Amino acid sequence: MKTATAVATEEKIRVQGVDLFYGDNQALYDINLSVPEGSITAFIGPSGCGKSTLLRTLNRMNDLIPGVKITGEVLVDGDNIYGGDTDVVNLRKNVGMVFQRPNPFPMSIYDNIAYGPRIHGIRRKKDLDVIVERSLQQAALWEEAKDRLHKSALGLSGGQQQRLCIARLLAVEPKVLLMDEPTSALDPISTLKVEELTQELKNKYTIIIVTHNMQQAARISDTTAFFLNGVMVEHGVTDGLFTNPGDKRTEDYITGRFG
């Protein structure tokens, strides 16, 4: 299912020497990572190793957690997002996130998707109609949702809600999609739909996906990073990392010896 990535793309994100502390507890140690534009990167590793923490670092979602201290740099398109002049609202529009549990707003399907564009100043119904349809099409939900756009989003199934959350994200035209275990609450068919979606989206977006499912990482990602106890042990081309890991700890993890 994986499609070839365009060669020699530009660097979209660079993480340089990032340490992160929750109060006195260090959760990330000297993370260095380069993410090329238009690719899919998978983060794997045992529970508590820091995958979600690092993901949240990439659009400053950790700012919302009291007592977090971050040092080092995260460059998006060459700009350090921890520099003084970052517009965080704009950053989170460009670097959007989907969470493990679908979290639609308690409003209609239509209003869920129109919410972001409205905040960013789009008011005309005609324009919003176009965005709503396009986003639902991109998220492979249009057929299922088109006759119930003004019904509550909470009436959708879990898998449909997750695709709605992806549609909501796409509506504001981000550049980077951060997906934290987006299929862990989904059945196999919905999972397949989300996986297929990532393949369709990756030429337009840069995607980073956290997953506990190593087959999923192998199926959909171009590169994979393996984490252990807050350290990035290894980052490489996915096929290589799974067939010929460079580090014994990676090998132990992917062969199921621990984790």
Ligand X SMILES: Nc1ncnc2c1ncn2[C@@H]1O[C@H](COP(=O)(O)OP(=O)(O)OP(=O)(O)O)[C@@H](O)[C@H]1O
Binding site for ligand X (CB under 6 A): 22, 27, 45, 47-53, 65
Least distance between Mg ion and beta carbon 211 (Å): 10
Residue 17 binding target from Mg ion, ligand X, none, CB below 5 to 8 Å by type: none
Least distance between ligand X and beta carbon 20 (Å): 8
CA distances from 213 to 181, 182, 183, 218 (A): 9, 11, 9, 9
Residue 224 binding target from Mg ion, ligand X, none, CB below 5 to 8 Å by type: none
Tokens of 215: 């087959």
Beta 206-210 vs 40-44: how paired, if at all?
A: parallel
Query: In the chain, how long is the greatest CA-to-CA distance?
Result: 57
Nearer to Mg ion, 101 or 146 (CB): 101
**Environment class of residue 59 by beta-carbon count within 10 Å: exposed (0-12), middle (13-18) or buried (19+)?**
buried
Residue 47 binding target from ligand X, Mg ion, none, CB below 5 to 8 Å by type: ligand X
Residue 50 binding target from ligand X, Mg ion, none, CB below 5 to 8 Å by type: ligand X
Least distance between Mg ion and beta carbon 97 (Å): 12
Tokens of 165: 């959350």
Least distance between Mg ion and beta carbon 119 (Å): 27
Least distance between ligand X and beta carbon 22 (Å): 3
Residues that bind Mg ion (CB under 5 A): 52
Residue 109 binding target from ligand X, Mg ion, none, CB below 5 to 8 Å by type: none
